[in-house]
Amino acid sequence: MSTVKSSLNKWQNKKLCSLLNYANLSLLFKASVHGYNVNTFHQKCNMQGPTVIVAYNKSGYVFGAFTSKDFRQTNQNVVDEKAFLFSFNDKEMKEDPTRVLSGNPQFAFTDTGPNFGSLVFLYNNTATVYSNPGAYQFDPQQMHGNDLQLTECEVYRVEEYGALMEKPWRNVQWNSERRKALLSIIYGWKPSVSSVKQARILLVGPVGAGKSSFFNSINSVFKGYVSSQANTGTAGTSLTTQFRTYYIKPGSGVSHVPFTLCDSMGLEEGLNTGLDVDDFASILKGHIQDKYQFNPSMPIQPDSPHFRKSPGLKDQIHCVVYVIDACKVKLLPDRMIDKFAVFRRKTNQLNIPQLVLLTKVDEACPLVEDDLKNVYQSHYINKMMQEVSAQLGVSLSAVVPVKNYCHELEINSQTDILLLNAVVQMLRATEGYFDDLYNPDERSE
């Protein structure tokens, strides 16, 4: 099963956020996945702070309810002066959303489920809504078109982005001199082991997280213009079906880039889908050669022509980078987190350093979208970095935010600085790996 995704399209999301002071929405519950069941609703949505219920019907209505209070399953009436019902029609995109406050905030909702009195969602544990204007006065035709059969029902946690931190919590210089300095650090880096000429960095992550886009972005930085070599897209299953070793072409006046990026099949939740843990282990040990075609139902066999029987240190992986979409941190299913844990254990057994690349930070936070220099002053991005640190069991210092090039036609200095800083962290982690691996007399002079 793939990652649970929101049913809100871009226009719907914009309309809904306009009612919520442009807050961030984190999906907690999706009835088509979790079931049209009140008990499951409470399991997913209790004690989550402000939430908004979003219901959909075949008539094109998107309608629901917001509360600033927790669901607790107390079976009591809840007071909430900020609660309201809303509606807009996907087929009437020019109309402003309908917003209805309660005539009696003492009975904003009854904590027996998504029960707002005048509208009761998941009614009798079915894909229907009960409608009876009362404390909330509305025209049923305007609210839901008298279509009470739901095609979907979702619940989102409503999170305010908040003002920027007074000072950035990581210091970054955003000028062109810093970009040049980072490039100089990278070009000047040299593995401390004579048998290795380039650090091999493996990118691992869920489908659509931005692994291949990260390679394309790094390649663009070194080329000086936006380029696309690795396949990217938004397919439901991994676009990367082969193990690929991508070599970065050096810029003018430079003969060598001291690292390669290895791309793998995307991680998926289900059995026999996505990158297999045995294949992952074989990649780490250097057994799998470039352009090996993955077969999720059967890991590579020693008699495969792409199986390297006696890999050297130069063939092995020297740093593993887990790529996570900042917009999906709160949506990572338990089975995906469990799969990460298995991969982490395999990597730990080989003492290979591990980092986390948090992608799409501009899409996750509008303050960062407005100005990328806000990335280390955004409360929200800081929170996402802390959450992914806790979920994957890595230190916060090992989590690095980036923005990939995806729709731009030209590179820009700020994006480059974040990308190059990520590469520097990977090379430093690799150097630590070599330091631990060999005695001083085994290193190059």
What is the mean predicted confidence (pLDDT) over 331-337?
Answer: 84
What integer pLDDT is reported at residue 94 of this predicted model? 53
Task: Check whether 314 has a pLDDT greater than 80.
Answer: yes
What is the mean predicted confidence (pLDDT) over 421-433?
Answer: 96
What integer pLDDT is reported at residue 420 of this predicted model? 97
Using alpha carbons, select from 99, 103, 56 the residue that is nearest to residue 81.
103
Q: Do 201 and 78 share a structural domain?
A: no
In a domain, 3, yes or no: no
Kindly report which listed range (89-93, 226-230, 408-412, 437-441) carries the lowest average pLDDT score: 437-441
CATH number at residue 309: 3.40.50.300
- Residue at a domain's end among 106, 131, 159: 159
35 contact partners, CB below 8 Å, separation of at least 6: none
DSSP code at position 316: S
In a domain, 118, yes or no: yes
Query: What phi, psi does 57 have (nearest 5°)?
Result: -135, 170
- Residue at a domain's end among 127, 159, 191: 159
Q: How far apart are CA 91 and CA 78, in angstroms?
A: 34
What integer pLDDT is reported at residue 343 of this predicted model? 96
Q: How far apart are CA 383 and CA 361, in angstroms?
A: 12
In a domain, 416, yes or no: yes
Reported pTM: 0.70
Report how many domains make up the chain: 2
How far, in whole angstroms, is CA 308 from its chain's centroid? 33
Q: Do 155 and 284 share a structural domain?
A: no
CB atoms inside a 10 Å sphere around CB 238: 22
Coil, helix or strand at residue 119 = strand
Task: Check whether 180 has a pLDDT greater than 90.
Answer: yes
**pLDDT, tens only, 35-71:** 999 999 999 999 999 999 999 999 999 999 999 999 9
pLDDT band at 227 (very low <50, low <70, confident <90, very high): confident
Q: How far apart are CA 212 and CA 262, in angstroms?
A: 9
Task: Check whether 370 has a pLDDT greater than 80.
Answer: yes
Judge contact between 256 and 188, C-beta under 8 A: no
Instruction: Please tell me which residue, 400 or 239, carries the higher pLDDT value.
Output: 400
What integer pLDDT is reported at residue 366 of this predicted model? 81
DSSP code at position 220: H
Residues spanned by the domain of 106: 10-159
Q: Do 209 and 69 share a structural domain?
A: no
**pLDDT, tens only, 103-147:** 998 989 999 999 999 999 999 999 999 999 999 999 999 999 999
Q: Do 232 and 294 share a structural domain?
A: yes
Coil, helix or strand at residue 340 = helix
Helix (H) / strand (E) element for 430: namely helix 413-437
Q: Do 241 and 146 share a structural domain?
A: no
- Residue at a domain's end among 159, 187, 209: 159
In a domain, 4, yes or no: no
**pLDDT, tens only, 257-295:** 999 999 998 888 777 778 889 999 999 999 999 999 998
Q: How far apart are CA 22 and CA 288, in angstroms?
A: 47
Judge contact between 67 and 51, C-beta under 8 A: yes
What is the mean predicted confidence (pLDDT) over 327-344?
Answer: 88
Burial class (CB in 10 A: 0-12, 13-18, 19+), 237: middle
Judge contact between 193 and 443, C-beta under 8 A: yes
What integer pLDDT is reported at residue 232 of this predicted model? 54
pLDDT band at 97 (very low <50, low <70, confident <90, very high): confident
Q: How far apart are CA 314 and CA 311, in angstroms?
A: 8
Which amino acid is located at 355 in the chain?
L
Judge contact between 23 and 353, C-beta under 8 A: no
What is the mean predicted confidence (pLDDT) over 352-362?
Answer: 97
In a domain, 169, yes or no: no
Helix (H) / strand (E) element for 64: namely strand 61-67
Q: How far apart are CA 161 and CA 375, in angstroms?
A: 12
Beta strands in 74-193 (DSSP E): 77-78, 84-89, 98-101, 109-110, 119-121, 129-131, 150-159
Which amino acid is located at 265 in the chain?
M
The backbone region for 122, taken as left when phi is positive above 0, alpha when psi lies in -120 to 50, beta otherwise, is: left
**What mean pLDDT is reported for the chain?**
90
Instruction: Please tell me which residue, 276 or 178, carries the higher pLDDT value.
Output: 178
The count of C-alpha atoms lying within 13 angstroms of the C-alpha of 304, restricted to the half-sphere facing its C-beta, is 19
Task: Check whether 188 has a pLDDT greater than 60.
Answer: yes
Share of the chain above pLDDT 70, in %: 92
Instruction: Please tell me which residue, 189 or 367, carries the higher pLDDT value.
Output: 189
In a domain, 346, yes or no: yes
What is the mean predicted confidence (pLDDT) over 179-193?
Answer: 94
Q: How far apart are CA 30 and CA 14, in angstroms?
A: 19
Q: Do 220 and 104 share a structural domain?
A: no
In a domain, 421, yes or no: yes
In a domain, 443, yes or no: no
Q: Do 272 and 217 share a structural domain?
A: yes
Kindly report which listed range (38-52, 192-206, 221-235, 335-349) carries the lowest average pLDDT score: 221-235
Task: Check whether 299 has a pLDDT greater than 60.
Answer: yes
Query: What phi, psi does 101 have (nearest 5°)?
Result: -85, 160
Q: Do 204 and 299 share a structural domain?
A: yes
What integer pLDDT is reported at residue 313 of this predicted model? 96
* Unique residue bearing structure tokens 């991969």: 343
Q: Do 418 and 285 share a structural domain?
A: yes
pLDDT band at 179 (very low <50, low <70, confident <90, very high): very high
What integer pLDDT is reported at residue 328 of this predicted model? 85
Q: Do 404 and 266 share a structural domain?
A: yes
Instruction: Please tell me which residue, 265 or 31, carries the higher pLDDT value.
Output: 31
- Which sign, positive or negative, has the C-alpha torsion 429, 348, 359, 169? negative
Q: Do 340 and 256 share a structural domain?
A: yes
Q: Do 256 and 228 share a structural domain?
A: yes
